[in-house]
């Protein structure tokens, strides 16, 4: 227990760093995921191509490689930001590809006739998607989206290797101080468990309130 009590501030800083990464990257992933899912089903061929390319490239690129590309590659083009923002960008873009596919699968569950009925009333593609299709699609994919964001929280551990303050990175500090590595990782694991269980509980409540009854 002294590993935690003697270094509560270290664990606290790492825990808050992971929470911030998770929250900001999740917001970015959801926004981009919705956008790319819209592109994937758009009637414009160029948008469908862009959405497909986005998903294909990001889903088949190792996250560590994406971190290297963002944190080390973008500054070469004059884009200099704090490492935490680069980490949010890498995590958010990577996860958005999986959010997009979850949403697209939900869109495919919405009867085609509803979209046709909306268009017959004079609604544009954007209005049909935002007011008719996506609300129904999201109800059916609450659980997959929640699982994807839980994976994002765990993937944030990679950011510690790029000088970003997060929970897993605390083990280096405590190891240098001579603390037992086993208990160091036990408390780190507990921190991740708190974060993932919180996300799981949130999406369970959302599913009970808005999910499709099966």
Query: pLDDT grade, residue 163 (50/70/90)?
Result: confident
Quick one: pLDDT at residue 76? Answer: 87
Residue with tokens 């949403």: 103
pLDDT tens column, 193-205: 999 999 999 999 9
Higher pLDDT, 208 or 57: 57
How far, rounded to the nearest angstrom, does the alpha carbon of residue 34 sit from its chain's CA centroid? 12
Q: Which residues contact 7 (CB under 8 A, 6 or more apart)?
A: 170, 173, 174, 177, 179
Quick one: pLDDT at residue 46? Answer: 94
Widest pairwise Cα distance in the chain: 70
pLDDT tens column, 23-72: 999 999 999 999 999 999 888 999 999 999 999 999 999 999 999 988 88
Quick one: pLDDT at residue 144? Answer: 92
DSSP string, 3-47: HHHTTHHHHHHHHHHHHHHHHHHHHHHHHHHHHHHHHHT-S-HHH
For residues 187 and 11, is the Cβ–Cβ distance under 8 A?
yes
pLDDT reading at 19 higher than 90: yes
pLDDT reading at 151 higher than 60: yes
Query: pLDDT grade, residue 147 (50/70/90)?
Result: very high
| Lowest model confidence (mean pLDDT) among 35-49, 53-67, 134-148, 158-172 | 158-172
Higher pLDDT, 164 or 3: 164
pLDDT reading at 189 higher than 70: yes
């Amino acid at each position: 227990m002294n590993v935690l009590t003697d270094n509560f501030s270290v664990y606290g800083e790492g825990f808050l760093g992971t929470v911030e990464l998770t929250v900001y990257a999740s917001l970015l992933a959801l926004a981009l995921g919705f956008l790319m899912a819209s592109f994937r089903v758009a009637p414009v061929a160029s948008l469908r191509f862009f959405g497909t390319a986005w998903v294909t490239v990001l889903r088949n690129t190792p996250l560590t490689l994406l971190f290297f590309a963002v944190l080390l590659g973008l500054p070469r083009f004059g884009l200099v930001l704090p490492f935490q923002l680069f980490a949010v960008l890498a995590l958010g873009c990577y996860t958005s590809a999986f959010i997009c596919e979850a949403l697209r699968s939900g869109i495919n569950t919405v009867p085609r006739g509803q979209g046709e009925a909306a268009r017959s009333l004079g609604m544009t593609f954007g209005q049909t998607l935002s007011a008719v299709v996506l609300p129904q699609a999201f109800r059916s994919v609450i659980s997959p989206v929640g699982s994807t964001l839980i994976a994002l929280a765990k993937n944030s551990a990679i950011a510690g290797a790029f000088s970003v303050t997060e929970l897993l990175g605390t083990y280096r500090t405590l190891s240098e101080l001579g603390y037992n590595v086993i208990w160091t990782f036990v408390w780190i694991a507990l921190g991740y468990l708190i974060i993932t269980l919180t996300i799981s509980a949130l999406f369970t409540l959302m599913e009970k309130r808005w999910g499709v009854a099966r």
